[in-house]
Amino acid sequence: MKKNTKILFAAGAAVVVIALLVVVFQMVGGNLDVVGKQSVASFDAVLQAIPDQITADDTNGGWSLLAPDGTVRFIWSKDYSKSPLHDVMLELDAKPFVDAGLDTTKLPSNYASFDGMLMVGTKLGNEEFKYSDAMTPLSSYEQIVKNYRASINYHTALDHYGVKLGDGNMFEWAKDMTKISATGKDQDKDIVFVLNPEPLIAAGVDPAKVVGWVYAQVPVEENGKTIQVYKFLKPFNIV
């Protein structure tokens, strides 16, 4: 009887362990990708909040989200196998940086300079997927989650999701535009355009002289530790 009890206990424990492993697997890379799924829902909320600022961008073969002040756009591709330059990028007014000392000829190759604008971004890859003319801004973002999941970030300190644009550049948006989950405080940074200042400073920019962007330290998680890193930030409250 004791032997049978031990066998039953061991079998029950094995089932529990297997169930836990299945849940962990699903959370990490399976159907329950919480960050990926919630980022889609919260990105949709942003799109719905500023519909007039979301347009097709035929030049870059994608979609454009224009900042409320009209000085910077987040652009993401419709077809990641055919986009000409970058798949995800920021296009911004160069004047604040030029006025602060920028020499555009000294910018690295991930930057482009044209018609008083700067563009910085990255090519995600050449994944083939079922593309159609019916693609929407949201379904195109879902292709990033599906094919380039490593490019989607969750910034704990600000309670933001984001798309990595390469070299420390980001476009971020609030998980919840009404409050910060961890503290319950009002969320006043619904969308944030983020630039790595180092290449700009190396190209002559004096960060103290850049008008319209905030030069500040933000907490960033790196190798399991939180460190303070300087960024150029342009945040907006849209609701």
- The residue that leads in pLDDT, 153 or 129, is 153
Q: Are 78 and 134 in contact (CB under 8 A)?
A: no
Token pair recorded at residue 92: 């911004």
Which stretch of 9-23, 115-129, 164-178 has the lowest confidence by average pLDDT? 9-23
Q: Where are the domains of the chain?
A: 1-32, 33-236
Query: Which residue reads 């798309």 in tokens?
Result: 163
Please give the DSSP secondary-structure letter assigned to residue 207.
Answer: G
Which residues, other chains included, contact 17 with Cβ-Cβ below 8 Å and sequence gap of 6+? Answer: none
Predicted local distance difference test score (pLDDT) of residue 8: 41
pLDDT of residue 50 exceeding 90, the answer is yes
Q: Which residues pair with 236 in a beta bridge?
A: 191
Token pair recorded at residue 44: 């949709």
Q: In what helix (H) or strand (E) does residue 97 lie, and over which residues does it extend?
A: helix 95-99
pLDDT of residue 63 exceeding 80, the answer is yes
